[in-house]
Amino acid sequence: MTEITTRNARQLAAAHLKEAYGIDVNDPEQLAELKINVKNYRKRIEQTFNRQNILYKAGTYINSSLFNGNQPIDFLFKNWKPDKQKDVAKAKEVANRCFLLAKKMFEEPQKVLLSGKPGVGKTSLAMAMLNALCEKDLTVMTVSTLELARLMSKRIENKDVQDKLDYLQNLMGTVDVLLLDDFGTEGSMKNESKSVRQDLQEYLFRIANSRIDLNRNEVVNSTIITTNCSSKDLETMYNPKLISRLLPHKADNIVDFTALEDMRV
């Protein structure tokens, strides 16, 4: 969809008035007689189409998301059940911190890390953050790094896969909020950390660079990372320059789920 500009909105408003009501916006006498405020009408048309643009862009990012096992996940903060954990206070704390970080992310781009054992709710709360931000008209996208690694393995034999990776790279670099889910799993599937394939590292490095302003040392688009790995493990698997670009350096932007238990059935 072409982005609607003010000029386009005016043309659309004029065409709509003429077609639907036989009103010529270039005839001041006719407008005066009908008491039509064309300026306000054009503004309403512009707002309507800009809203459609936002929804279209949002759908593009969401529909291009990569989930583990190709199974989409959806979750809201209201669905979080702290009483399912033995440490109810901790479960409430991590949810509250994620909620506040989402609020902070709406005000200013952030890098956020959710770390802890598998099955403790990191991805669920990350999805709740995305849903909250999506409601604020920010574009969001989820990418499983494990699924990304699988695509990398197929790209040499299949040109369509390479085209998809190029398309995903553009989306991952420009989306307002990117969730990299299960980061590090692609290098530690057998309970031992090993260096992640070089082409995937280079791919993620380009994405990381596009989400920060290196000259001003500022985050320009938010990134949420969930991981089962320790920072030490991630440094073993990935180039330190990539880790430095992706992971937050502020302690307040790191949510530790370690005290929670695996609740998967």
**pLDDT tens sequence across 67-90:** 998 888 899 999 999 999 999 999
Number of neighbouring beta carbons within 10 Å of residue 222: 26
Question: Under a CB-based contact definition with an 8 Å cutoff, are residues 212 and 219 in contact?
Answer: yes
**Global confidence as pTM:** 0.79
Left, alpha or beta for 184 (phi > 0: left; psi -120 to 50: alpha)?
A: left
Tens of pLDDT, residue by residue over 110-138, are 999 999 999 999 999 999 999 999 999 89
- Integer CA distances (angstroms), 240 to 41, 137, 219, 235, 254, in order: 54, 33, 18, 6, 18
CA distance 34 to 26: 13
Query: How many C-alpha atoms does 63 have within 13 Å on its Cβ side?
Result: 6
Look at residue 192 in the predicted model and tell me its pLDDT: 57
Cα–Cα distance measured from residue 62 to residue 127, given in angstroms and rounded to the nearest whole number:
12
Question: 70, 80, 62: which is closest to 128 by C-alpha?
Answer: 80
Q: Which of 229, 204, 225, 188 is nearest to 152 (CA)?
A: 204
With b for 16 or more beta-carbon neighbours within 10 A and e for fewer, the 42-80 pattern comes to beebbeebeeeeeeebbeebbebbbbbeeeebebebeeb
Name the CATH code of domain 66-256 (choices 3.40.50.2300, 3.40.50.300, 3.90.1750.10, 3.30.565.10).
3.40.50.300
Q: Could you tell me which residues come within 8 angstroms of residue 205 by beta carbon, excluding any fewer than 6 positions away?
A: 239, 241, 242, 245
Tell me the average pLDDT of the chain: 85
CB 223 within 8 A of CB 211: yes
- What CA–CA distance (Å, rounded) separates 101 from 53? 27
Q: What is the rounded distance in angstroms from the CA atom of residue 16 to the CA atom of residue 10?
A: 10
36, 37, 41, 48, 52 from 6: Cα distances, Å: 19, 16, 12, 12, 14
**In terms of pLDDT, which residue wins out, 16 or 100?**
100
What's the pLDDT tens digit per position in 161-208? 999 999 999 999 999 999 999 999 876 655 556 788 899 999 999 999
Q: What pLDDT was estimated at residue 60?
A: 87
